[in-house]
Every structure is written in structure tokens, then in C-alpha cells.
Amino acid sequence: MADNPLIEVLKHYGEPVNRDSFLRLAYAGKPPARLDPESESELPQDDVRFMTYRPTTHEEVKAEEDEKLAKQEEAKARKTKK
């Protein structure tokens, strides 16, 4: 199955493909605090990343990305030392 066009945009720009990013893009940066049942039903239903709601701020996403990058750099430094 082809990805949703909004998911393709997120991938193209290197954004995390998750519920928060999807909703920010779909609602032009200002998603509602809660979705009504109709809007909820329009989310990609076949993708587990969209099934569980977890509020995420831009700062939380940035912190997760920074942590991931730091771990990658640590692993790279360990390889270099060997």
C-alpha cells in the first residue's frame, strides 16, 4: 500500500513519521488538542505509529533526536578506538 501523501512529505523533509508530526502538518502547525471521532477515523489506520496518542512537543522531539545522535556518536567513537 502506498503511503499517505502527508507521510511522504514528512519523509521527504526528514521529519519524524509519527502522530504528532502528521497532525502538525495536516493542521498547518496548529493541531487541535483532541480530535473528534470523524477526524480520528481519517488518520492512517494501518500504521501503528498513529494508533496511540502521546503528546509530543517540538522540544521533546528535538531532545529525542539529540539523544539518538549522541548515542550514534558514542558508538562511532568506540569503533574508532578499537
- Average pLDDT, stretch 16-30? 87
CB neighbour list of residue 39: distance below 8 Å, 6 or more residues apart: 32
pLDDT-derived band at 31, boundaries 50, 70, 90: confident
Higher pLDDT, 25 or 41: 25
pLDDT band at 35 (very low <50, low <70, confident <90, very high): confident
The interaxial angle of helices 19-26 and 5-12, nearest 10 deg, is 110
Q: What is the pLDDT of residues 49-60, one digit of tens each?
A: 665 555 566 777
Average pLDDT value over all residues in the chain: 79
Q: Which of 50, 35, 38, 37 is nearest to 4 (CA)?
A: 50
User: Cell 502547525 maps to which residue?
Assistant: 29
Q: How confident is the model at residue 1 (pLDDT cuts 50, 70, 90)?
A: very low
* Residue extents of the structural domains in the chain: 5-81
Kindly state the DSSP code that residue 44 receives in the 8-state scheme.
-
